[in-house]
Amino acid sequence: MFFSAGDSIVITRLISGQFPNYQALLPQSNSIVLTLDATAFREALARVSLLAPAQSHGVCLALESGQLTISTAGGDAGEAVESMDAGYSGEPLRLAFNCLFLLDFLNVVKSGQVEIAFKDNQSAAELRPADHEYRWRFIVMPMRL
């Protein structure tokens, strides 16, 4: 099927086949949950990301009971560290993410509380609004720094 309008032509065709099993990629057993204020997290992450390495945009999230520390080291540019209150009561844990992916999520969820659910520091994390009225899932793989 094709459509034309002026100098533009759009050609489409129906591709037969089975849609990929995306359900297999979605985390099923993320039992560790971190709860944060979306605005405070976005602002702290934006400040720290200014010094994140240009190649990886990597930031480290260090979790301790009641606190999140966001840090990065950008080589010659220096390093940045920010701490904030967090709803977390588990064992100390360190995760690393591409800060651009986290900021993409936080630019959609403008305010309120957000949750980051994960199983460990090597498995996919699920980011979502904390009100559980969400209709979508934002999945991010951690990185190794």
Greater model confidence, 89 or 6? 89
Is 69 within the bounds of a domain? Answer: yes
Residue 74 sits in a domain whose CATH number is 3.10.150.10
* Average model confidence (pLDDT) across the chain: 89
**Of 69, 70, 63, nearest in space to 118 by CA:** 63
Is 11 within the bounds of a domain? Answer: no
- Position 139 pLDDT exceeds 80: yes
* Average pLDDT, integer, range 23-46: 90
Confidence of residue 1 (pLDDT cuts 50, 70, 90): low
Is residue 126 helix, strand or coil? strand
Is 39 within the bounds of a domain? Answer: yes
Boundaries of domain holding 115 = 29-140
Confidence of residue 95 (pLDDT cuts 50, 70, 90): very high
Tell me how far CA of residue 136 lies from CA of 22, 62, 126, in angstroms. Answer: 13, 26, 10
Number of domains in the chain: 1
- Position 107 pLDDT exceeds 90: yes
Buried b (16+ CB within 10 A) or exposed e, 99-126: bebbbebbeebeeeebbbbbeeeeebbb
- Position 66 pLDDT exceeds 90: yes
In angstroms, the first-to-last Cα distance of the chain is 48
